[in-house]
Amino acid sequence: MSNVVVVGAQWGDEGKGRIVDWLAEQADIVARYNGGHNAGHTLVVNGQTYKLALLPSGVVRGKLGLIGNGVALDPEALLAEIDRMAALGIRVTPEVLQIADTATLVLPVHRAIDAAQERLRAKPIGTTLRGIGPAYEDKVGRRGLRVCDLAEPELLASKLDLLLQHHNAWFRGLGLEPFRKDQMLSELLAMAPRILPFAGRVWEQLDHAYTSGKRTVFEGSQAVMLDVDWGSYPYVTSSSAIAAGAASGTGIAPSRLGPVLGVSKVYATRVGEGPFTSEVEGAQGDTLRQRGGEYGVNTGRPRRCGWLDTVQLRQSGKVAGINLLALTKLDVLDGFDSVYVCVGYELDGKRIDYMPSTNAEQQRLVPVLKRFEGWKDSTRGIRSFADLPRQAVALIEAIQEEVGIPVAMVTTGPERDDAIVLRSPFDDAGCLAM
Protein backbone atom coordinates (compact mmCIF):
# COMPACT_ATOMS: atom_id res chain seq x y z
CA MET A 1 0.00 0.00 0.00
CA SER A 2 1.89 3.08 -1.09
CA ASN A 3 -0.47 5.96 -0.39
CA VAL A 4 -2.90 7.01 2.32
CA VAL A 5 -5.35 9.94 2.36
CA VAL A 6 -6.10 11.67 5.65
CA VAL A 7 -9.40 13.55 5.86
CA GLY A 8 -11.14 15.45 8.61
CA ALA A 9 -14.35 13.55 9.32
CA GLN A 10 -16.16 16.29 11.28
CA TRP A 11 -15.88 20.13 11.15
CA GLY A 12 -12.09 20.46 11.21
CA ASP A 13 -9.45 20.51 13.96
CA GLU A 14 -9.83 16.79 14.61
CA GLY A 15 -6.07 16.35 14.99
CA LYS A 16 -5.25 15.63 11.34
CA GLY A 17 -1.80 17.18 11.66
CA ARG A 18 -0.64 14.81 14.39
CA ILE A 19 -2.12 11.80 12.56
CA VAL A 20 -0.28 12.83 9.39
CA ASP A 21 2.88 13.20 11.48
CA TRP A 22 2.44 9.63 12.74
CA LEU A 23 1.90 8.28 9.21
CA ALA A 24 4.79 10.36 7.88
CA GLU A 25 7.21 8.20 9.84
CA GLN A 26 6.35 5.35 7.46
CA ALA A 27 6.14 7.56 4.34
CA ASP A 28 8.41 9.45 1.97
CA ILE A 29 6.19 12.38 0.99
CA VAL A 30 3.37 14.43 2.51
CA ALA A 31 1.15 16.32 0.06
CA ARG A 32 -1.42 19.04 0.83
CA TYR A 33 -4.30 19.18 -1.61
CA ASN A 34 -6.89 21.74 -0.47
CA GLY A 35 -7.42 24.86 1.59
CA GLY A 36 -4.75 27.31 2.54
CA HIS A 37 -3.69 29.15 5.66
CA ASN A 38 -7.23 28.88 6.99
CA ALA A 39 -5.95 25.51 8.24
CA GLY A 40 -4.07 25.12 11.50
CA HIS A 41 -2.43 21.75 12.12
CA THR A 42 -0.69 21.16 15.43
CA LEU A 43 2.15 18.75 16.19
CA VAL A 44 3.67 18.34 19.63
CA VAL A 45 7.06 16.63 19.62
CA ASN A 46 9.05 16.30 22.85
CA GLY A 47 7.25 19.27 24.35
CA GLN A 48 7.82 21.47 21.30
CA THR A 49 4.63 22.66 19.58
CA TYR A 50 4.59 23.23 15.82
CA LYS A 51 1.60 25.08 14.34
CA LEU A 52 1.42 24.55 10.61
CA ALA A 53 -0.93 26.35 8.27
CA LEU A 54 0.29 25.87 4.71
CA LEU A 55 3.28 23.59 5.11
CA PRO A 56 2.62 19.84 4.94
CA SER A 57 2.98 18.30 8.41
CA GLY A 58 5.79 16.00 7.20
CA VAL A 59 8.27 18.91 7.18
CA VAL A 60 8.80 18.42 10.91
CA ARG A 61 10.22 14.94 10.19
CA GLY A 62 12.17 16.30 7.21
CA LYS A 63 9.96 14.43 4.73
CA LEU A 64 9.45 15.88 1.26
CA GLY A 65 6.41 18.18 1.32
CA LEU A 66 4.27 18.91 -1.72
CA ILE A 67 1.67 21.65 -2.04
CA GLY A 68 -0.78 20.73 -4.78
CA ASN A 69 -2.69 22.79 -7.32
CA GLY A 70 -5.83 22.51 -5.17
CA VAL A 71 -4.28 24.65 -2.42
CA ALA A 72 -4.96 28.39 -2.21
CA LEU A 73 -1.51 29.77 -1.56
CA ASP A 74 -0.87 33.11 0.10
CA PRO A 75 2.81 33.74 -0.69
CA GLU A 76 3.20 36.18 2.20
CA ALA A 77 1.76 33.66 4.67
CA LEU A 78 3.95 30.89 3.27
CA LEU A 79 7.18 32.88 3.61
CA ALA A 80 6.24 33.95 7.14
CA GLU A 81 5.57 30.31 8.05
CA ILE A 82 8.87 29.19 6.56
CA ASP A 83 10.60 31.83 8.71
CA ARG A 84 8.70 30.70 11.81
CA MET A 85 9.79 27.13 11.17
CA ALA A 86 13.41 28.22 10.68
CA ALA A 87 13.27 29.86 14.12
CA LEU A 88 12.24 26.43 15.50
CA GLY A 89 15.13 24.72 13.74
CA ILE A 90 13.17 23.32 10.78
CA ARG A 91 14.78 24.41 7.51
CA VAL A 92 12.30 24.47 4.62
CA THR A 93 14.29 24.58 1.39
CA PRO A 94 13.32 23.63 -2.19
CA GLU A 95 14.86 20.22 -1.42
CA VAL A 96 12.08 19.50 1.08
CA LEU A 97 9.20 21.54 -0.35
CA GLN A 98 7.75 21.73 -3.84
CA ILE A 99 4.71 23.80 -4.78
CA ALA A 100 2.52 23.19 -7.83
CA ASP A 101 3.19 26.09 -10.17
CA THR A 102 -0.53 25.97 -10.98
CA ALA A 103 -1.67 26.64 -7.39
CA THR A 104 -3.93 29.66 -7.10
CA LEU A 105 -2.61 32.73 -5.27
CA VAL A 106 -4.33 34.36 -2.32
CA LEU A 107 -3.73 38.12 -2.52
CA PRO A 108 -4.35 41.07 -0.16
CA VAL A 109 -7.41 41.98 -2.24
CA HIS A 110 -8.92 38.59 -1.33
CA ARG A 111 -8.54 39.30 2.37
CA ALA A 112 -10.29 42.65 1.87
CA ILE A 113 -13.13 40.97 -0.04
CA ASP A 114 -13.45 38.24 2.61
CA ALA A 115 -13.82 40.88 5.34
CA ALA A 116 -16.27 42.99 3.31
CA GLN A 117 -18.39 39.97 2.36
CA GLU A 118 -18.61 38.88 5.99
CA ARG A 119 -19.65 42.41 7.03
CA LEU A 120 -22.33 42.45 4.34
CA ARG A 121 -23.82 39.05 5.14
CA ALA A 122 -27.03 39.07 7.14
CA LYS A 123 -25.77 35.81 8.63
CA PRO A 124 -21.97 35.73 8.56
CA ILE A 125 -20.24 32.41 7.91
CA GLY A 126 -17.55 33.12 10.47
CA THR A 127 -14.72 32.64 7.97
CA THR A 128 -11.10 32.78 9.03
CA LEU A 129 -10.82 36.09 7.08
CA ARG A 130 -7.76 34.74 5.28
CA GLY A 131 -9.18 35.47 1.81
CA ILE A 132 -9.50 31.79 0.96
CA GLY A 133 -13.10 31.86 -0.35
CA PRO A 134 -12.58 34.90 -2.60
CA ALA A 135 -9.34 33.39 -3.99
CA TYR A 136 -11.20 30.21 -5.00
CA GLU A 137 -13.99 32.36 -6.47
CA ASP A 138 -11.40 34.01 -8.71
CA LYS A 139 -9.98 30.60 -9.62
CA VAL A 140 -13.30 29.26 -10.89
CA GLY A 141 -14.07 32.71 -12.34
CA ARG A 142 -10.98 32.17 -14.51
CA ARG A 143 -9.31 35.42 -13.54
CA GLY A 144 -7.12 34.07 -10.72
CA LEU A 145 -3.36 34.48 -10.52
CA ARG A 146 -1.22 31.37 -10.16
CA VAL A 147 2.23 30.64 -8.79
CA CYS A 148 3.68 30.33 -12.32
CA ASP A 149 2.55 33.90 -13.10
CA LEU A 150 5.14 35.19 -10.62
CA ALA A 151 7.83 34.35 -13.18
CA GLU A 152 6.46 36.80 -15.74
CA PRO A 153 6.24 40.37 -14.39
CA GLU A 154 4.46 41.86 -17.41
CA LEU A 155 1.86 39.14 -17.53
CA LEU A 156 1.42 39.45 -13.77
CA ALA A 157 0.75 43.18 -14.10
CA SER A 158 -1.85 42.73 -16.83
CA LYS A 159 -3.58 39.90 -14.93
CA LEU A 160 -3.72 42.08 -11.85
CA ASP A 161 -5.32 44.84 -13.94
CA LEU A 162 -8.06 42.47 -15.06
CA LEU A 163 -8.57 41.14 -11.55
CA LEU A 164 -8.89 44.61 -10.06
CA GLN A 165 -11.13 45.81 -12.87
CA HIS A 166 -13.52 43.07 -11.77
CA HIS A 167 -13.27 43.62 -8.02
CA ASN A 168 -13.05 47.41 -7.99
CA ALA A 169 -16.43 47.66 -9.70
CA TRP A 170 -17.82 45.76 -6.70
CA PHE A 171 -15.90 47.85 -4.15
CA ARG A 172 -17.03 51.10 -5.79
CA GLY A 173 -20.63 49.89 -6.06
CA LEU A 174 -20.65 49.41 -2.30
CA GLY A 175 -19.02 52.75 -1.64
CA LEU A 176 -15.81 51.04 -0.55
CA GLU A 177 -12.29 52.16 -1.38
CA PRO A 178 -11.08 50.57 -4.65
CA PHE A 179 -7.94 48.44 -4.44
CA ARG A 180 -4.67 49.71 -5.91
CA LYS A 181 -2.46 47.56 -8.07
CA ASP A 182 0.95 49.14 -7.53
CA GLN A 183 1.63 48.02 -3.99
CA MET A 184 0.27 44.51 -4.58
CA LEU A 185 2.39 44.15 -7.72
CA SER A 186 5.59 45.37 -6.11
CA GLU A 187 5.05 43.07 -3.10
CA LEU A 188 4.47 40.07 -5.37
CA LEU A 189 7.56 40.85 -7.42
CA ALA A 190 9.60 41.21 -4.25
CA MET A 191 8.43 37.78 -3.02
CA ALA A 192 8.78 36.02 -6.38
CA PRO A 193 12.53 35.22 -6.08
CA ARG A 194 11.85 33.41 -2.78
CA ILE A 195 8.75 31.57 -3.99
CA LEU A 196 9.76 30.49 -7.49
CA PRO A 197 12.57 28.09 -6.46
CA PHE A 198 9.84 25.99 -4.77
CA ALA A 199 7.60 25.91 -7.86
CA GLY A 200 7.40 22.79 -9.99
CA ARG A 201 5.30 19.98 -11.42
CA VAL A 202 3.82 18.28 -8.38
CA TRP A 203 1.77 15.84 -10.50
CA GLU A 204 5.02 14.58 -12.06
CA GLN A 205 6.73 14.16 -8.69
CA LEU A 206 3.77 12.11 -7.49
CA ASP A 207 3.83 9.98 -10.61
CA HIS A 208 7.56 9.24 -10.15
CA ALA A 209 7.02 8.56 -6.46
CA TYR A 210 4.24 6.08 -7.16
CA THR A 211 6.06 4.21 -9.92
CA SER A 212 9.19 3.94 -7.79
CA GLY A 213 7.26 2.51 -4.84
CA LYS A 214 7.46 5.55 -2.59
CA ARG A 215 4.75 6.26 -0.08
CA THR A 216 2.76 9.49 0.03
CA VAL A 217 0.39 10.74 2.70
CA PHE A 218 -2.23 13.15 1.35
CA GLU A 219 -2.99 15.63 4.12
CA GLY A 220 -6.51 17.02 3.99
CA SER A 221 -7.35 20.36 5.49
CA GLN A 222 -10.74 21.29 6.91
CA ALA A 223 -13.21 18.41 6.85
CA VAL A 224 -16.15 16.70 5.20
CA MET A 225 -18.67 18.95 6.97
CA LEU A 226 -16.81 22.02 5.67
CA ASP A 227 -16.50 20.65 2.11
CA VAL A 228 -18.05 22.97 -0.48
CA ASP A 229 -20.24 20.13 -1.83
CA TRP A 230 -20.77 17.87 1.17
CA GLY A 231 -20.71 20.23 4.10
CA SER A 232 -23.49 22.26 5.70
CA TYR A 233 -23.61 24.73 2.80
CA PRO A 234 -23.30 27.73 2.87
CA TYR A 235 -21.49 27.37 6.24
CA VAL A 236 -18.51 25.70 4.59
CA THR A 237 -15.11 26.51 3.18
CA SER A 238 -14.63 26.85 -0.58
CA SER A 239 -12.55 23.78 -1.42
CA SER A 240 -12.88 20.05 -1.81
CA ALA A 241 -11.96 18.65 1.58
CA ILE A 242 -13.00 15.04 0.94
CA ALA A 243 -10.68 12.30 -0.32
CA ALA A 244 -11.60 12.95 -3.96
CA GLY A 245 -10.03 16.37 -3.51
CA ALA A 246 -6.65 14.67 -3.08
CA ALA A 247 -6.78 13.55 -6.71
CA SER A 248 -8.02 16.77 -8.29
CA GLY A 249 -5.91 18.86 -5.92
CA THR A 250 -2.54 17.26 -6.68
CA GLY A 251 -2.81 15.49 -10.04
CA ILE A 252 -2.54 11.92 -8.76
CA ALA A 253 -4.95 9.45 -10.32
CA PRO A 254 -7.87 8.45 -8.02
CA SER A 255 -6.93 4.79 -8.54
CA ARG A 256 -3.57 5.47 -6.86
CA LEU A 257 -4.87 7.14 -3.72
CA GLY A 258 -5.02 4.11 -1.43
CA PRO A 259 -6.97 3.84 1.82
CA VAL A 260 -8.67 6.82 3.41
CA LEU A 261 -8.11 7.44 7.10
CA GLY A 262 -10.82 9.65 8.59
CA VAL A 263 -9.95 11.61 11.71
CA SER A 264 -12.57 12.37 14.35
CA LYS A 265 -12.47 13.50 17.94
CA VAL A 266 -14.36 11.34 20.44
CA TYR A 267 -16.57 14.40 20.90
CA ALA A 268 -17.22 17.22 18.42
CA THR A 269 -16.24 20.83 17.82
CA ARG A 270 -17.01 23.46 15.24
CA VAL A 271 -15.52 26.91 14.79
CA GLY A 272 -17.56 29.49 12.90
CA GLU A 273 -21.28 29.58 12.28
CA GLY A 274 -23.61 26.88 10.95
CA PRO A 275 -25.70 23.97 12.21
CA PHE A 276 -24.23 21.76 14.93
CA THR A 277 -26.93 19.39 16.11
CA SER A 278 -25.05 17.81 19.01
CA GLU A 279 -23.68 21.12 20.32
CA VAL A 280 -23.60 21.43 24.11
CA GLU A 281 -23.89 24.94 25.46
CA GLY A 282 -23.41 26.01 29.05
CA ALA A 283 -21.17 24.48 31.70
CA GLN A 284 -20.68 21.08 30.06
CA GLY A 285 -19.68 22.69 26.74
CA ASP A 286 -17.29 25.00 28.61
CA THR A 287 -15.72 22.00 30.34
CA LEU A 288 -15.10 20.29 27.00
CA ARG A 289 -13.61 23.52 25.63
CA GLN A 290 -11.30 24.00 28.60
CA ARG A 291 -10.17 20.37 28.89
CA GLY A 292 -9.74 20.04 25.15
CA GLY A 293 -8.01 23.40 24.72
CA GLU A 294 -10.59 24.13 22.07
CA TYR A 295 -9.38 27.43 20.66
CA GLY A 296 -8.41 28.00 17.02
CA VAL A 297 -4.74 27.32 16.23
CA ASN A 298 -4.32 30.45 14.11
CA THR A 299 -7.31 32.63 14.86
CA GLY A 300 -7.55 31.91 18.62
CA ARG A 301 -11.37 31.75 18.34
CA PRO A 302 -13.15 29.59 20.95
CA ARG A 303 -14.50 26.44 19.29
CA ARG A 304 -18.12 25.41 19.83
CA CYS A 305 -18.17 22.02 21.60
CA GLY A 306 -20.60 19.12 21.69
CA TRP A 307 -20.97 15.36 21.69
CA LEU A 308 -19.87 13.02 18.93
CA ASP A 309 -22.49 12.74 16.18
CA THR A 310 -22.45 9.25 14.65
CA VAL A 311 -25.10 10.10 12.02
CA GLN A 312 -22.86 12.87 10.71
CA LEU A 313 -19.79 10.66 10.98
CA ARG A 314 -21.39 7.73 9.15
CA GLN A 315 -22.57 9.97 6.31
CA SER A 316 -19.16 11.68 6.09
CA GLY A 317 -17.56 8.25 6.03
CA LYS A 318 -19.59 7.31 3.00
CA VAL A 319 -19.01 10.44 0.89
CA ALA A 320 -15.33 10.60 1.75
CA GLY A 321 -14.87 6.84 1.33
CA ILE A 322 -13.33 6.47 4.78
CA ASN A 323 -11.84 3.00 5.30
CA LEU A 324 -10.41 3.46 8.78
CA LEU A 325 -11.02 5.86 11.66
CA ALA A 326 -8.53 7.61 13.91
CA LEU A 327 -10.28 8.71 17.10
CA THR A 328 -8.53 11.58 18.85
CA LYS A 329 -8.54 13.29 22.25
CA LEU A 330 -9.93 10.43 24.35
CA ASP A 331 -8.19 11.92 27.42
CA VAL A 332 -10.40 15.03 27.19
CA LEU A 333 -13.36 12.91 28.34
CA ASP A 334 -11.55 11.78 31.52
CA GLY A 335 -13.53 12.66 34.63
CA PHE A 336 -16.99 13.06 33.08
CA ASP A 337 -19.69 11.14 35.01
CA SER A 338 -21.59 10.58 31.77
CA VAL A 339 -20.56 10.82 28.15
CA TYR A 340 -23.12 11.15 25.36
CA VAL A 341 -23.15 10.18 21.72
CA CYS A 342 -25.71 11.39 19.16
CA VAL A 343 -27.06 8.26 17.49
CA GLY A 344 -29.98 9.69 15.54
CA TYR A 345 -31.90 12.83 14.65
CA GLU A 346 -35.48 13.90 15.02
CA LEU A 347 -36.79 16.23 12.35
CA ASP A 348 -40.22 17.71 13.07
CA GLY A 349 -40.99 14.77 15.34
CA LYS A 350 -39.83 12.11 12.87
CA ARG A 351 -36.71 9.99 13.43
CA ILE A 352 -34.19 10.18 10.55
CA ASP A 353 -30.73 8.68 10.10
CA TYR A 354 -29.18 11.10 7.60
CA MET A 355 -28.25 14.75 7.43
CA PRO A 356 -30.90 16.63 5.44
CA SER A 357 -29.73 18.94 2.66
CA THR A 358 -31.30 22.26 3.55
CA ASN A 359 -29.86 24.51 6.15
CA ALA A 360 -33.29 25.19 7.60
CA GLU A 361 -33.86 21.48 8.18
CA GLN A 362 -30.37 21.00 9.60
CA GLN A 363 -31.06 23.80 12.09
CA ARG A 364 -34.29 22.09 13.22
CA LEU A 365 -32.67 18.72 13.96
CA VAL A 366 -32.98 17.47 17.51
CA PRO A 367 -30.24 15.03 18.58
CA VAL A 368 -31.12 11.58 19.91
CA LEU A 369 -28.48 11.12 22.59
CA LYS A 370 -27.27 7.85 24.08
CA ARG A 371 -25.66 7.92 27.50
CA PHE A 372 -22.42 6.13 28.29
CA GLU A 373 -20.85 5.70 31.69
CA GLY A 374 -17.85 7.97 32.15
CA TRP A 375 -14.55 7.10 33.84
CA LYS A 376 -12.52 8.70 36.62
CA ASP A 377 -9.04 7.34 35.78
CA SER A 378 -6.70 9.30 33.55
CA THR A 379 -6.22 7.97 30.04
CA ARG A 380 -3.61 10.63 29.30
CA GLY A 381 -0.65 9.12 27.50
CA ILE A 382 -1.99 5.54 27.52
CA ARG A 383 -0.44 3.59 24.65
CA SER A 384 -2.07 0.19 24.99
CA PHE A 385 -5.72 -0.68 24.49
CA ALA A 386 -5.53 -3.10 27.42
CA ASP A 387 -4.71 -0.22 29.80
CA LEU A 388 -7.86 1.77 29.03
CA PRO A 389 -10.72 1.94 31.56
CA ARG A 390 -13.49 -0.48 30.55
CA GLN A 391 -15.92 2.43 30.06
CA ALA A 392 -13.58 4.02 27.50
CA VAL A 393 -13.30 0.70 25.67
CA ALA A 394 -17.11 0.41 25.65
CA LEU A 395 -17.39 3.92 24.19
CA ILE A 396 -14.86 3.23 21.41
CA GLU A 397 -16.52 -0.06 20.54
CA ALA A 398 -19.95 1.58 20.43
CA ILE A 399 -18.68 4.36 18.13
CA GLN A 400 -17.13 1.77 15.82
CA GLU A 401 -20.40 -0.15 15.76
CA GLU A 402 -22.62 2.90 15.10
CA VAL A 403 -20.40 4.37 12.40
CA GLY A 404 -19.55 1.04 10.81
CA ILE A 405 -15.87 1.86 10.23
CA PRO A 406 -12.99 0.11 12.04
CA VAL A 407 -10.93 2.19 14.45
CA ALA A 408 -7.23 2.17 13.54
CA MET A 409 -5.92 4.48 16.21
CA VAL A 410 -6.96 6.26 19.41
CA THR A 411 -5.01 9.23 20.71
CA THR A 412 -4.64 10.00 24.40
CA GLY A 413 -2.68 13.24 24.48
CA PRO A 414 -1.23 15.84 22.11
CA GLU A 415 2.34 14.46 22.18
CA ARG A 416 3.45 12.53 19.10
CA ASP A 417 3.51 9.14 20.86
CA ASP A 418 0.41 9.55 23.05
CA ALA A 419 -1.55 7.06 21.00
CA ILE A 420 -2.88 3.52 20.82
CA VAL A 421 -2.20 2.08 17.39
CA LEU A 422 -4.45 -0.83 16.42
CA ARG A 423 -3.64 -1.06 12.71
CA SER A 424 -1.67 0.98 10.16
CA PRO A 425 -3.35 1.79 6.85
CA PHE A 426 0.01 1.24 5.15
CA ASP A 427 0.21 -2.40 6.22
CA ASP A 428 -3.44 -3.26 6.01
CA ALA A 429 -4.51 -4.33 2.53
CA GLY A 430 -7.83 -5.59 3.95
CA CYS A 431 -8.94 -2.12 5.03
CA LEU A 432 -9.56 -1.07 1.41
CA ALA A 433 -12.54 -3.39 1.33
CA MET A 434 -14.12 -1.53 4.25
Which of 3, 7, 9, 16 forms a contact with ligand GDP (CB under 6 A)? 16
Whether 155 contacts 136, CB under 8 Å: no
**Interface with ligand GDP by CB under 6 A: which range of 11-19, 91-99, 228-236, 358-366?**
11-19
> What are the C-alpha distances in Å from 359 to residues 11, 278, 319?
15, 15, 19
Cβ-closest position to ligand IMO: 272
Contact residue for ligand GDP among 7, 332, 342, 431 (CB under 6 A): 332
**Catalytic residue check, 370:** no
Task: Note the Cα 434 to chain centre separation in Å.
Answer: 23
Query: Is residue 211 marked as binding?
Result: no
Q: Which of 32, 110, 159, 329 binds ligand GDP (CB under 6 A)?
A: 329
271 belongs to an annotated ligand binding site? no
Annotated active-site residue 123? The verdict is no
Of 413, 416, 425, 426, which one interacts with ligand GDP (CB under 6 A)?
A: 413
Taking CB under 6 A as the binding criterion, the range among 78-86, 228-236, 325-333, 360-368 that sits at the site for ligand GDP is: 325-333
Task: Find which of ligand IMO, Mg ion, ligand GDP, none residue 18 binds, CB within 5 to 8 Å per kind.
Answer: ligand GDP
**Interface with ligand GDP includes 8 (CB under 6 A)?**
yes
Residue 65 annotated as lining a ligand binding site = no
| Residue number with CB closer to ligand IMO (114 or 331) | 114
From the candidates 37, 139, 167, 265, give the one annotated as an active-site residue: 139
- Nearer of residues 41 and 167 to ligand GDP, judged by Cβ: 41
- Measured from the CB atom, the residue of 13 and 74 that comes closer to ligand GDP is 13
The answer on whether 12 is annotated among ligand-binding residues is yes
User: Which of these, 311, 143, 126, lies nearest to 234 by C-alpha position?
Assistant: 126
User: CB-wise, 37 or 329, nearer to ligand GDP?
Assistant: 329
Task: Tell whether 303 is in a known binding site.
Answer: yes
Q: Which of 40, 274, 285, 306 binds Mg ion (CB under 5 A)?
A: 40
* Binding test (CB under 5 A) with Mg ion, winner from 3, 5, 9, 13: 13
**How do 304-309 and 338-347 pair as beta strands?**
parallel
Which of 56, 57, 7 has the alpha carbon at shortest distance from 240? 7
Residues between 274 and 293 with contacts to ligand GDP, criterion CB under 6 A: 293
Q: How far is the CB of 255 from ligand GDP (least distance, A)?
A: 27
CB of 380 to ligand GDP, least distance (A): 7
Q: Is there a catalytic annotation at residue 13?
A: yes
Secondary structure, 3-state, the chain:
CCEEEEEECCCCCCCHHHHHHHHHCCCCEEEECCECCCCCEEEEECCEEEEECCCCHHHHHCCEEEECCCEEECHHHHHHHHHHHHHCCCCCCCCCEEEECCCEECCHHHHHHHHHHHHHCCCCCCCCCCCHHHHHHHHHCCCCCEHHHHHCHHHHHHHHHHHHHHHHHHHHHCCCCCCCHHHHHHHHHHHHHHHHHHEECHHHHHHHHHHCCCCEEEECCCCHHHCCCCCCCCCCCCCCCCCHHHHHCCCCCHHHCCCEEEEEECEEEECCCCCCCCECCCHHHHHHHHHHCCECCCCCCECEEEEEEHHHHHHHHHHCCCCEEEEECHHHHCCCCEEEEEEEEEECCEEECCCCCCHHHHHHCEEEEEEEECCCCCCCCCCCHHHCCHHHHHHHHHHHHHHCCCEEEEECCCECCCEEECCCHHHCHHHHHC
Min dist. Cβ of residue 262 to ligand IMO (A): 13
Residues found near ligand IMO in the complex (CB under 6 A): 8, 12-13, 35, 38-41, 125-128, 130, 132-133, 221-223, 226, 237-238, 271-272
Identify which of residues 111 and 303 has a Cβ nearer to Mg ion in the complex. 303
Nearest to 1 by CA among 250, 214, 219: 214
- If binding is defined by CB under 5 A, does position 15 make contact with Mg ion? no
**Of residues 8 and 425, the one with the C-beta less far from ligand IMO:** 8
Report the partner that residue 108 touches, choosing among ligand IMO, ligand GDP, Mg ion, none (CB closer than 5 to 8 A by kind): none
Decide: is 297 part of the binding site for ligand GDP (CB under 6 A).
Answer: yes
Catalytic-labelled residue, pool 41, 110, 159, 167? 41
Q: Which residues pair with 105 in a beta bridge?
A: 73
Interacting residues toward ligand GDP by CB under 6 A: 8, 12-18, 40-42, 44, 293, 297, 328-329, 331-332, 411-414, 418
Q: Which residues bind Mg ion (CB under 5 A)?
A: 13, 40, 297
Catalytic residues: 13, 41, 139
